[in-house]
Amino acid sequence: MGEAVGILEVFGLVCAFMAADAGCKAGNVWLEPFDKNKPANADSLPVPLLVTIKFRGSVSDVEAAMEAGERVARSLTGVVQKHIIPRPTEDTEKMLKLCAFDKS
């Protein structure tokens, strides 16, 4: 099992970049590739693209990164979901590598 992961899903790519930047400055973390999702109700959302930021590091650093990232995201377009997994399983580790941005 690896480092903790903080998963922060936000509205829009610009918001994701801003939240990721704030999180990386707040804690000693690194990022897994962003992921994206365009849900069926995309037209009714504030921004039609959901982006997932995945912070990795110690639990305390991930908590600091998540707090900073969430604060920035809420000031922009908003947060959809947020979770911290202190010790992801091997199968979860594999799923964290998935990235829809790699798909056409």
Q: What pLDDT is recorded for position 47? A: 74
**Domain 4-102 sits in CATH 3.40.50.300:** no
Look at residue 53 and tell me whether its pLDDT is greater than 80.
yes
Number of H helices, E strands in the chain: 3, 4
More confident residue, 16 or 39: 16
Tell me the β-bridge partners of 69. none
Which tens digits make up the pLDDT trace of 73-91? Answer: 999 999 999 999 999 999 9
Which tens digits make up the pLDDT trace of 26-51? Answer: 999 999 999 988 877 777 777 778 99
Chain centre to alpha carbon of residue 20: 7
Kind of pairing between the strands at 79-85 and 50-57: unpaired
Cβ atoms 30, 56 nearer than 8 A: yes
Among the listed residues 35, 55, 39, the one whose alpha carbon sits nearest the alpha carbon of residue 47: 39
More confident residue, 70 or 2: 70
